[in-house]
Structure 1
Amino acid sequence: MKRFDFPLLLRRIVFRLMRVDLMLLGLVITLTTIGFVTLFSAGYSFPWRIEGQIRNIAVAASVMFVVAATPVKWFEKSALPLFVLGCLLLAATHVAGVTVKGATRWLDVGVRIQPSEIMKLALPMMLAWYYHKRSETAAWWDHLAAFAMLAVPVAFILKQPDLGTSILVATAGFAVIFFAGLHWKAIAVLIVGGLSMLPIVWTMMHDYQRERVLTLLDPTSDPLGKGFHTIQALIAIGSGGLSGKGWMEGTQAHLDFIPERTSDFLFAVYGEEFGFIGCSLLLVLFTCLVARSFYIASQAPSTFSRLLGGALGSIFFTYSFVNMGMVSGILPVVGVPLPFMSYGGTALLILGVSTGILLSISAEVRANPNN
């Protein structure tokens, strides 16, 4: 039996990590640093959140580098079993899940887990694997099969109900289908069909979801209830002016007017303290992050890595667009964190894995420039 060569494995890991995309890594580190600085200001009155975020960042960073050192072919091999496991866990959550505040999103397996979070990565990995296997003989009905695979987990997640996560999962899945070559005529049909279904969707929505849409149209209709989050966030962002009130000087946050100020509404704290200039810088950083992700995906050597990389870039875009949109009052409040900045262990871990996969793809591109 051949003896395991640990020094050789270590050299290969170092060799791989030395070839990751430094621009992407630098953007993630910059956003995480800005996020922690903002969270420190928003949460200085409850230091356990700050300590918790330090642990979250350490865990996510460790996982990110482990994933970055992992060959892409391992993700390809794990796509199908991970997707099947995720669907089984979602089904189990529907049958025997833990209900908190009217939502059945968690499963108790000794520790409490949220299976829908797994699908943020499992679904795009599965669809990328499917199109990779079908790349030589792809037909129009492959898109139908892909939409069927997308519909299963999204339906389970909507049933919980969890609109925010369902949007993220659906976006990641649709991104793979789009990058796989979905014709623009099919996209037009989907848009028209989706618009025509809106009245039916409205009747199927939960009361709190309809209230969020109505609050978006007129938050002042319930200023102390459903519209409170949006109104206070807009006041905070607007009061920041051109250059902001300064770090640790935000009154809306420190006087407890901004709810969920360390998580979903951290952008309101950032806007108040750093103003229009700071928000513009943040938009540039997120734009560069998404653009760099798509660039890495475009250089990937295989269909699987190209489609998966494109989906991960779409996840970064959706996270940031939806969060900033809901805090700014142009989208309903759906509970989506600001990527790499908001407090949260699970979301930061998923983002760390996503970044690690992109870094792994970039390392393979640099190691094999002729592919």
Structure 2
Amino acid sequence: MNAAAFWRFLRHRVFIFDPMLSMVLLAITLISLVTMYSAAGEGSTRLMVHARNLGMAVLITWLVASLSPRRLMTVAIPLYLAGLALLFCVELFGVSAKGAKRWLDLGFTRIQPAELMKIAIPLMLAWFFHISQNRLRARYVHLMAIMLLVLPVALVGRQPDLGTAILIGSTGAFVIYFAGLPWRVILASLVIGVAALPLLWLNMKPYQKERVLTMIDPTNDPLGKGFHIIQSTIAVGSGGMQGKGWLKGTQAHLDFVPERTTDFIFSVYAEEFGLVGTAVLLTLYAVLIGRGLMIASQAQSPFGRLLAASMTMSLFTYAFVNIGMVIGILPVVGVPLPFMSYGGTALVTLGIGCGMLMCVAHDNAMQRLRPGRHFVFE
């Protein structure tokens, strides 16, 4: 193998990360490690486990990014069907913990099948709209897509797992929207959704109602269900303009902020780095989302465009919902902050999602190197 051939191999198989996405993700990861060191506390093993999980997410991102969009299309149906089968198994044989039945016990480990659907749903719907691209004006196409989405969302909602159901539903809804859902259908859906709110409220679990009421007024139970929101908002506000300084956040280090390494890690970061640091982190997320949408707009096929757009907007949903619940404008639903929160399963899912985004970006780059030649997906 000569030098030119070796360089082509490296460029096509090793150096496949989109430069801008890579730099933004690296910056967020470094901020995550710095914040986790403070949030976990001295002597905790969580920092090392978090670093290991981040490394695993990077490896998974590279492996998925090395695939072609054509290869991703071939796994859409099997992955979706496997996810549905596992969700039905949870319904029948699932393990209950803390009032929810979300896991399957395989003997040597437990798995949460709902996490699989965060990837399977956008893949399946992107594939479905790709093969239906000549029939998108037909009403039944969007109706069938909605049916493909509603079934797994309903199964996850029954567990109950509101946070995951929101994420799965949003990723699927973004695919349907970007596939060209008519505005009259969107407006009609919004009207029906608003009209159905009283019915939804009547069918919510007691703890779900409590979360909504706590969001509206956490001071009704300041030492109980409102404690999370009150303490996290105090931490965010006490950071001021420049923050209290790294390792100097009193709310976190005096154990006032609960779940400070997972769902509420943003409050630790905001207290120690203040408004300036928060602006930096939010800017990084904005660049990440903007670059993802640009990749989607340059995709060479409907499948790549819809998949990249959905993965990008799912990252936005993760960040928006997490920060919203930390500052008290959304109910606490257990959604992690992308690449910041502790948790192996979430990082694996995010790694796969970013890998698919990198896959589309790499395909775009390869097509620019070979003008006039485009993949035709069947």
Q: Normalization by structure 2: what TM-score?
A: 0.94
Which residue of structure 2 lines up, in the alignment, with residue 5 of structure 1?
none
Deviations 1:119-165 (A, max 9, x none): 00100100000000111222121000000000010000000000000
- State the shift of 1:13 in Å: 6.0
Which residue of structure 1 lines up, in the alignment, with residue 111 of structure 2?
113
Distance 1:72 1:33 in 2: 30
Q: Does 2:78 correspond to 1:84?
A: no
The alignment partner of 1:291 has SS state of helix
Q: Which of these residues, 119, 126, 133, is aligned with residue 135 of structure 1?
A: 133
Contact 2:295 2:361 in 1 (8 A): yes
- State the shift of 1:14 in Å: 4.3
Deviations 1:16-50 (A, max 9, x none): 44353100111111111101110110002451211
Which residue of structure 2 lines up, in the alignment, with residue 271 of structure 1?
270
Distance 1:161 1:10 in 2: 51
Q: Does 2:16 correspond to 1:22?
A: no
Distance 1:86 1:334 in 2: 22
Which residue of structure 2 lines up, in the alignment, with residue 3 of structure 1?
none
Deviations 1:76-106 (A, max 9, x none): 0000000000000000001000111011010
Which residue of structure 2 lines up, in the alignment, with residue 4 of structure 1?
none
- Unaligned runs of 5+ residues in structure 1 are 1-7
**What is the one-letter code of the residue matched to 2:133?**
S
The alignment's C-alpha RMSD in Å is 1.4
Query: Equivalent residues in 2 for 1:50-61 (5 A)?
Result: 50-61=47-58
**What is the one-letter code of the residue matched to 2:311?**
L
Distance 1:367 1:36 in 2: 33
**Identical columns (%):** 49
Distance 2:30 2:133 in 1: 40
Q: Does 2:104 correspond to 1:100?
A: no
Contact 2:129 2:302 in 1 (8 A): yes
Contact 1:35 1:341 in 2 (8 A): yes
- State the shift of 1:12 in Å: 4.0
Query: Equivalent residues in 2 for 1:324-335 (5 A)?
Result: 324-335=323-334
Contact 2:17 2:62 in 1 (8 A): no
**What is the one-letter code of the residue matched to 1:52?**
V
The alignment partner of 1:136 has SS state of helix
Query: Equivalent residues in 2 for 1:40-55 (5 A)?
Result: 40-45=37-42, 47-55=44-52
Distance 1:135 1:324 in 2: 36
- State the shift of 1:73 in Å: 1.1
- State the shift of 1:11 in Å: 6.0
- State the shift of 1:214 in Å: 0.2
Q: Normalization by structure 1: what TM-score?
A: 0.96
Distance 2:220 2:118 in 1: 35
The alignment partner of 2:133 has SS state of coil
Contact 1:19 1:367 in 2 (8 A): no
Contact 1:19 1:366 in 2 (8 A): no
Q: Does 2:306 correspond to 1:307?
A: yes
Deviates more, 1:84-93 or 1:274-283: 274-283
Distance 1:349 1:300 in 2: 24
Deviates more, 1:104-113 or 1:320-329: 104-113
Distance 1:178 1:27 in 2: 27
